[in-house]
Structure 1
Amino acid sequence: MNIAKIHILLLLLIPSASYSAPLECNVGPIQKSYGGNTWDVYACSDKKNIVVVSAPGNPAMPFYFTIFIKNGGYVVNGEGTGTKSATKSAYEELSKLTAEEIQSIISQAINVGK
């Protein structure tokens, strides 16, 4: 899945009322392991949200997660047609990330993007 598709998907998935400009999630990627598989992680332009995309060879492919702030906490949403066991285990791990861990991921993606 390329960056343009991620951008379009985010415009649909992340509530637009809370953003005055389109949210772009094209900073990075960094590679992380969630649920025992490799994922490409991108930071968003607001420096608060991330997108986690199944990397080549990941049995979850094609699949992505958006992790965004809603009502003061982070929400994890996923979409795709990859292997359910691979997406479920990644979802469980991503759902346990703290705000501090998400901010660290965002910082890592920004540093890679430079």
Structure 2
Amino acid sequence: MRFLMLISGEESAWSGTDEATQAVMGQIRDWYARWLPTGKVLPGGAMLGPAAATRTVGTDAAGRVTVTDGPYVELKDVVGGIVPLDVADADEAVAIAATWPGIVPFRETVEVRPVMN
């Protein structure tokens, strides 16, 4: 089954250049080195650019396409990355997501969502 990890957190925590941030980035590289060879974490994940560079496309009340700057809602936490998974079931996807290095130091959350066929 395919799942997608949606990694969310405070964007300001990801832009640091201090030793703690760099240490976590190293742990993330190690996480990928651990999981990619298993085939359970798939290539193609991505770290997303800043929310300030986001454009949201939608429609207005008359059905006309609208484009606005920034995320569609004002939130402190934003989605900062995605990781595709290929696992046996939701429990295995959650078990892998629970090992994401950013959960503790950055207080990130990882949403695990099934990918529809």
Tell me the TM-score normalized by structure 2: 0.31
Tell which has more relative contact order, 1 or 2 (C-alpha 8 A, sep 6+).
2
Tell me the TM-score normalized by structure 1: 0.31
Structure of larger gyration radius: 2
